[in-house]
Chain A
Amino acid sequence: MSEDIAYHEYDVLVIGAGGAGLRAAIEAAENGLKTAVLGKSLLGKAHTVMAEGGVAAALGNVDPQDGWETHFYDTCRSAHFINDYRMAEIHAKEAPDRVLELEYWGAVFDRTPEGKIMQRPFGAHSFRRLAHVGDRTGKEIIRTLEQKIMTLNVDVYQEITATKLFKDQERIAGCIAYYREDGRFAVFTAKAVVIATGGWGKAYKVTSNSWESTGDGAALAFRAGAELADMEMVQFHPTGMTWPPGARGILVTEGVRGEGGFLCNSEGERFMEKYDPVRKDLSSRDVVARGIYKEVKAGRGTPHGGAWLDITHKGAAFIKHKLPGMYEQLLSLADVDITKSRFEVAPTIHYTMGGLRVDPYTGATSVPGLFAAGECAAGLHGANRLGGNSLSDILVFGRRAGAGAMEYAKDTKMPKIDDTEVQAEVERVLAPLSRTEGENPYKLHEDLQEIMAAHAGIERNGQSLEEGLGRIQELRERTEHQMAKGSRQFNPGWHGVFDVQNMVLLGEAIIRGAIERKESRGAQWRTDFPDELENQGKVNYVQRLTDHGIELHPEPVPEMPEELARLFKLGMAPGLANSARKE
C-alpha cells in the first residue's frame, strides 16, 4: 500500500477540543510536556460553546452561606447517590478556583453590584451558584481556553477524526486519525492519551447536542479495553424547543426558569407544584422533564406536545439583558417574542451521565496511560446531573486528567505502535469508499435514532428494552457494511460511517445498562420497576467489550466516610444548617 501517512510523537495527546480537552492540554503544556490536541471541528466550535446557563461554583458571592459542603450535598442528592462521592467532593472544592483562573485568563463574567462575579439560581442548587455571562457562558469559557491555548506551545490539529487507539502490550500507545479536509492519515504516538470527546446525544433524534456528540472517544476507548459505567443514565433536559420541526430539541436554557420563568400545562396549571412542591420549576432536571412528559401523556400538553414556558412578567428590558440569546433564538427560528408571549418547550436529550470509568483523582481509565475527562467520563453526576455542573466538571477534571497524564508520561518511555495494525486500520477506514454497494450512513443514523427513541427514551420497560437490544444488535451488524459515495475530500457521508459505528456501540451499552438496572432512579425511569430500590443504589453497572461482545457486571458504589455522610443527616442543606445554628 502506498498510503502517505504522517507520524507524530507527543508526551501527552488529547483527543477532543472542547472545554475538558483544552483544559487538560493547558495543564500538560504549562508544565513543559510536548502536547497536542485533536478536534473534529475548528478550534472553539466544540459542544462546550452551546452551554448557556452558567458554571456552578460555590464562590458565595451572592449567597455567603454557600460553600463546598452544600455544593457537594446538592450534587450527590441530584445524582441519587450512585455517583463517586470522591469526585463530587473534589469538584465542589476545586470549582471556585477553576472559575477564578478563567477570570485571570480573560473571561469576563457578569458582575454583582459590588463588582464580584454574579451568580444565578438554577435547578436543585440550594443557593445562587452559577457564574455566568448572560446565556452564553459556554462560549465565554471555550473562547477563554482557546485564547489561553494560543499562548502556549500546544499543537492544535483542527478538523481531524481519530478512528482507533493503539496499545503497546497493555499500555496505551497512541491513535490514528484522518484529516477531514482531504482524508490524509496521521499516526500519533504518545506516552499518555486523554479522551475528552464529550457525550453521545446524537444517538437520539430530539437532542440539544451538536453533530459532534457521537461519543467517538468513549467508543474508541471501550474498544481498546476501557470500562464504561452508568451507561443507562442519559439526561433529558426539560426544556427544548418544540417547533419548527427543524429546531425541535434545540436547548432553551434552564436560566429562563432560573431568572423567574415558570411552566404551565394547556389548562394553565403550574403543574410543577404537584411534582415537587418545594423546588417547583427549579426542581432537578429528571423531575421536571418527567413532569412535562406526564402532563402531555395525560392530555394536558401544548399544540406541539410540550408545556408552556412563560417569563413575560419579568419585562422586555430584563429578558433582553439576562437572556439575549434565548430572545434572539426564539425570535429568529420560531417567530416567538418571548418578552411578549409564552412559548412551548418539551424534553430533549441533553447529556450522558455515564461513560468511561475513571480514577477520581487522576482521570485514569482501566487502560494504563489512557485518561478521560468531561462528559465522556462517568462518576461525578450519577443518575442525574445538576445544571451548571458540566462546565465546572470539564474545568476541574480536565485539569486533573491533564495532570494525571503528565505524571504518567514523565515516568515512561515512548511506546511503539505496530505498523501492521496501522495498515489494517487504514484499510478498514478506506473500505467504505471503494464499496459499490452497502448501507447508507445517513439512513443507519436515522434507524439508530428511531430505535433509541422507541426503546430507551424517557420512559422505559423491560420488554421494550429487550426488543431494542435485538434491534440495535442487528443494526450493529449493518454498520460494518456501509458505503460512502465520493472522494476522501471533505466527505460528510464518509465521516458519518464512523460516527454511526461509535453511536451504535454506545447505544447498545445504554440499552444493556437500562435492562440491568431494574428500578427507577434519576434519569432511568422503568414503568415495570417504578420505585427507587435500596439495593440498586449500592451498585454501578460496569461494561467491558470482549471478544464475545459486551459483558456487564455490578460494582459497588464507593461508600462515603462518616464526616461526609453526616452532611446528609442535618435535615437541610449544610449551608442553611450552619446559618440556622448561628442564629
Chain B
Amino acid sequence: MPDEITLSVYRGDKSGGQEVEYKVPIQTGMVVLDALHFIQAHDAPDLAVRWNCKAAHCGSCSAEINGSPKLLCKTRVDDYVGEVIHIRPMHSFPVIKDLVTDVSWNYEKLRQVPAFQPAIKAPFTLQQRDVDRIQEFRNCIECFLCQNICHVLRDHDAKDRYWGPRLMIRIAELEMHPLDTGDRLDLLKGAAGVGMCNITKCCTVVCPQGIDITDNGIIPLKERVADVYWDPLGGLVRKLHK
C-alpha cells in the first residue's frame, strides 16, 4: 500500500466553492473521517465536517465519496487505493460550509408526523414476531442519505410534494405498530406524497443500516393507500356501509 493518499475535499459555502486537494499519510484500517481529522489537525483547522460517534451509530457524517452517498466514519480509505478520494457534501441539501449541509427540512417534516397513539397504557403485551418489522424501521440513524439519493428530492427537488424515504419509514413504523390507533393515510396520500415514489430502490441501496426501505416500508404503505382510496370494490362496500 502507498504511504499517503490524496483527498480532494469540497471547500465552500452557499456562495460557491471548489475541491481542494490534501495529502494524508495512510494508517492501517483508517476511515475517511480519520483522514479528514488529520487534515483538520495539520492543514485546515477550519474544515467543516459534521460528526459525532465515529462508530456508525449516530448518522451525522453523511457525505458523498466518489459520487456515492456514504458515512465518512464507516468508509475505509483502503477501498480507494490508487484513486483520489473526492469528498463532497450531500447534494440534495443546501451547503452551510464545506461538508456540512442544512438538513433542517427533515426535522420540520418529522415534526409534522402525527405521533404514536397507543390504544392502551403500558406495559404492553407484544410478540417479538409482531415487532420485528417496526424494529427494522426504528434502526434508522437519521443520516438522511436516503433523502439525499432519492431522485424525487435530488433531481426534481420536489420537497413540496414528497417527504422522502426517511419520512416514509417513520410513518411506516407508526402505521405498523400493533397498538397504534392513529391514521396517517390521508397524510401519506396527500402532503407526504407516497405516490411520488416510483420504486427505484436507490434509498434501500444506500441505507447504512441495511433497512429494506422500499420493499418493507414504502410498498406496503402504497398498498394501504391503494386499498382505501383506489380499490373500487372496497370503495363500494364502504359507501354502502355509510
Contact = CB atoms under 8 A, between A and B. Distances in A.
Interface of A: 41-47, 49-50, 100-101, 103-106, 108, 110-111, 114-118, 133-134, 136, 138-140, 143, 147-148, 150-151, 158, 181, 210-212, 243-247, 250-251, 325, 328-329, 332-335, 440-443, 446, 484-487, 489-494, 496
7 contacts: A103-B123, A106-B118, A106-B174, A244-B27, A328-B56, A443-B41, A491-B48
A115 B125 contact: yes
Contact of B142 (A44, A181, A334, A486): A44
A100 B123 contact: yes
A105 B125 CA distance: 15
Task: Give the size range of B's interface with the partner.
Answer: 35 or more
Contacts, number: 167
A244 B28 contact: yes
User: DSSP class of B's interface residues: helix, strand, loop or mixed?
Assistant: loop
Nearest to A182: B96
B122 interface: yes
B172 interface: no
B123 A45 contact: no
Contact of B53 (A50, A133, A148, A335): A50
B131 A181 contact: no
Contacts of A43: 107
B215 to A, nearest CB: 19
Nearest to B31: A246
B50 A136 contact: no
Nearest to B100: A490
Interface string B49-68: 11111111111100000000
Contact of A117 (B121, B123, B138): B123
Contacts of A136: 57, 139
Interface of B: 13, 27-31, 34, 40-41, 45-60, 74, 76, 96-98, 100, 103-104, 107, 110-111, 115-116, 118, 121-128, 131, 134-135, 138-139, 141-142, 173-174, 177
B202 to A, nearest CB: 21
Given A43-B107, A150-B110, A442-B45, A245 B52 contact: no
A50 B30 contact: no
Contacts of B103: 42
Given A108-B173, A210-B58, A333-B31, 16 more contacts: A41-B60, A45-B52, A50-B53, A103-B123, A104-B122, A106-B116, A106-B118, A111-B127, A136-B57, A143-B142, A150-B111, A210-B52, A243-B29, A246-B30, A251-B55, A485-B45
A490 B41 CA distance: 16
Contacts of B104: 158
A332 B55 CA distance: 10
A111 B131 contact: yes
A484 B29 contact: no
